[in-house]
């Protein structure tokens, strides 16, 4: 998953884009970039690493202008190389920079079309660079440069692109153009701020970026909708796709997003708490005579759910693992070796919370099983009498193809396995998963009853449909083995 943010301000925006990116860092740790424009010139600075590694005083001083976009990357396509860091730039028509969160599932068809029909060249393996060229072509065939022309261009993109995409483009001579795919799989939120009698606007993956930058959250961008914010601060919006089914990615609520974000009018924090309540109730139903002494979260993301499970069970909640705050999120690291090593470096037990106790460990999700296998052993080594494990999400059994890098079913611990088999592999005394239906109800909450989500990695149902051979092709390009070979 990547983080994107764009601002049309009254004064220079580079420093604020940098701050916005640091708040979205949990969405991508591999690369970061900022593009700004002062109306005459566009400048892009980007590279591999955390936001704080990529930018220094020198690079920031080059980013002039009151309009800009920024990106932090967690790759789902192409390579991890710095040439695939975003924003991408094309100089025709007008000069356009683009930041994309998501993943296209018809990239190869589009790549061919872009070259053969649109007569444009794409330099990298990135799906986002292909997307930029599709948008650029659709804008180039309009007869003028205007918000209406930009809306027609987005309509063209929505007809051709398939997959998950939340996009912010900066177009020289026009301003920002932001849009969300017809199923609204990837998140995008709009905010504004009054300054010197005018409005500044910002668009971001998560509302937390708006909060920190002092913008008030106005609303989420709707499925298939585009928003144009002109250089002179006018805000226009239009639906640019045939009515699609709204299916925001449920994994944002499970793991990806920060708990202090609101997404599609749902508080991520509250969604996680409700997942804890329903899972706690399931534990009570299935194991009414449980002997749990203490509930211990696996930091960070599971905390909200774990606290509620403890409340429902009526047992103590204890922080038994301390997280090294200087190690990033392990799940979004690119290779299995690095992910595996990081768990031990990142989490360390406090033995007195485990010694002689029956503990229920809680995680938000079990994907490859990297974390839970090691953590269960660490709890035993710390003296736990018995170790149970609860996952606030159901078993992850299918690839995610809309912007989360889990492309290979065989790398998922629950793929083609029963819960009992996963329990054995992880080595816990018993394992309990949330039910999918419960999770959907919990995330939707009382204010959005019946709301549906993209749950493909749990259910195997893909709202966009998937072309023949796509999964095989994805696996051959993006499995851990393929990535290791490419890096070598
Ligand atoms: O089964 P796995 O493949 O290990 O993936 C699932 C784990 O990875 C994530 O943690 P991560 O360390 O990325 O981030 P967090 O600190 O936000 O929990 C998630 O919260 C689970 O703990
Ligand atoms: N996680 C994402 O949103 C990735 C964006 C894009 N597909 C890339 O690989 O750069
Ligand atoms: Mg975790």
Residue 87, ligand 2, Cβ within 6 A: no
| pLDDT, tens digit (0-9, with 9 covering 90-100), for 235-252 | 999 999 988 899 999 999
Report the separation in Å between the CA atom of 59 and the middle of ligand 1, taken as the mean of its atom positions.
Answer: 33
Task: Determine the distance separating the centroid of ligand 3 and the alpha carbon of 300, expressed in angstroms.
Answer: 5
The pTM of this model reads 0.96
Tell me how far the alpha carbon of residue 201 is from its chain's centroid.
22
Contact of 139 with 62, CB cutoff 8 Å: no
Per-residue confidence (pLDDT) for residue 78, from 0 to 100? 87
Phi, psi (5° rounding) for residue 158? Answer: -65, -25
For the stretch 316-364, pLDDT in tens is 999 999 999 888 888 878 788 888 788 888 999 999 999 999 999 999 9
pLDDT at 387 over 80: yes
pLDDT at position 482 is 84
DSSP 239: E
27 lines ligand 2 (CB under 6 A): no
The region of weakest confidence among 170-174, 273-277, 309-313, 469-473 is 469-473
Residues 413-469 have pLDDT tens digits of 999 999 999 999 999 999 999 999 999 999 999 999 999 999 999 999 999 999 999
What integer is the mean pLDDT of 61-86?
94
**Cα 152 to ligand 1 centre (Å):** 40
The answer to whether 56 is annotated as binding is no
Is 240 labeled as catalytic in the residue annotation?
no
Whether pLDDT at 219 is above 90 = yes
pLDDT for residue 79: 84
Task: Note the ipTM here.
Answer: 0.98
**Could you give phi then psi for residue 285, rounded to 5 degrees?**
-65, -45
User: What is the Cα Rg of the chain in Å?
Assistant: 23
State whether the beta carbon of 329 lies less than 6 angstroms from ligand 1: yes
**What are 182-211's pLDDT values in tens digits?**
999 999 999 999 999 999 999 999 999 999
5's enclosing H/E stretch is strand 3-8
Residue 174 backbone zone (phi > 0: left; psi -120 to 50: alpha; other: beta): alpha
User: How much is the average pLDDT of 366-377?
Assistant: 96
- Are the C-beta atoms of 290 and 321 separated by less than 8 Å? no
* Residue 340 three-state SS: helix
125 CB under 6 A from ligand 1?
A: no
């Amino acid at each position: 998953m990547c983080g994107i943010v764009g601002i049309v301000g009254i004064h220079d925006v580079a420093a604020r884009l940098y701050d916005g990116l640091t708040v979205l860092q949990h969405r991508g740790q591999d690369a970061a970039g900022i593009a700004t424009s002062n109306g005459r010139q566009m400048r892009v600075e980007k590279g591999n690493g955390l936001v704080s590694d990529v930018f220094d005083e020198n690079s920031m001083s080059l980013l002039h202008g009151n309009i800009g976009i920024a990106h932090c990357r967690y790759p789902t396509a192409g390579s991890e190389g710095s040439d695939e860091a975003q924003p991408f730039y094309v100089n025709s028509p007008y000069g356009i920079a683009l930041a994309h969160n998501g993943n296209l599932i018809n990239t190869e068809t589009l790549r061919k079309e872009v070259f053969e029909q649109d007569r444009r060249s794409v330099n990298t393996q990135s799906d986002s660079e292909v997307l930029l060229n599709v948008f650029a072509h659709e804008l180039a065939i309009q007869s003028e440069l205007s918000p209406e022309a930009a809306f027609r261009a987005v309509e063209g993109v929505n007809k051709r692109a398939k997959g998950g995409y939340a996009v912010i483009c900066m177009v020289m001579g026009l301003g920002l153009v932001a849009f969300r795919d017809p199923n609204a799989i990837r998140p995008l939120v709009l905010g504004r701020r009054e300054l010197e009698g005018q409005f500044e606007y910002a668009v971001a993956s998560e509302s937390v970026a708006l909060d920190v930058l002092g913008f008030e959250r106005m609303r989420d961008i709707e499925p298939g909708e585009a928003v144009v914010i002109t250089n002179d601060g006018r805000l226009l919006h239009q639906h640019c796709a045939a009515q699609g089914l709204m299916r925001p990615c449920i994994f944002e609520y499970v793991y990806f997003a920060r708990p202090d974000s609101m997404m599609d009018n749902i508080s991520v924090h509250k969604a996680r708490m409700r997942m804890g309540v329903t899972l706690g109730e399931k534990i009570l139903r299935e194991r009414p005579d449980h002997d749990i002494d203490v509930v211990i979260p696996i930091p960070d993301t599971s905390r909200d759910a774990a606290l509620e499970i403890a409340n429902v069970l009526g047992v103590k909640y204890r922080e038994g693992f301390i997280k090294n705050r200087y190690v990033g999120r392990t799940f979004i690291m690119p290779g299995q070796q690095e992910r595996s090593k990081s768990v031990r470096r990142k989490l360390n037990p406090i033995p007195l919370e485990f010694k002689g106790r029956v503990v229920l460990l809680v995680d938000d999700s079990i994907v490859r099983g990297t974390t839970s296998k090691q953590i269960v052993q660490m709890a035993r080594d710390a003296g736990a009498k018995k170790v149970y494990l609860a996952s606030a999400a159901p078993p992850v059994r299918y690839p995610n193809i809309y912007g989360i890098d889990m492309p290979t079913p065989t790398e998922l611990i629950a793929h083609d396995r029963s819960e009992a088999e996963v329990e054995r592999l992880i080595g816990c005394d018993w394992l309990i998963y949330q039910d999918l239906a419960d999770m959907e109800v919990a995330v939707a909450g009382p204010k959005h009853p019946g709301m549906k989500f993209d749950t493909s990695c749990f259910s195997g149902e893909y709202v966009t449909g998937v072309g023949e051979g796509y999964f095989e092709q994805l696996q051959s390009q993006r499995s851990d083995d393929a990535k290791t070979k490419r890096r070598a």
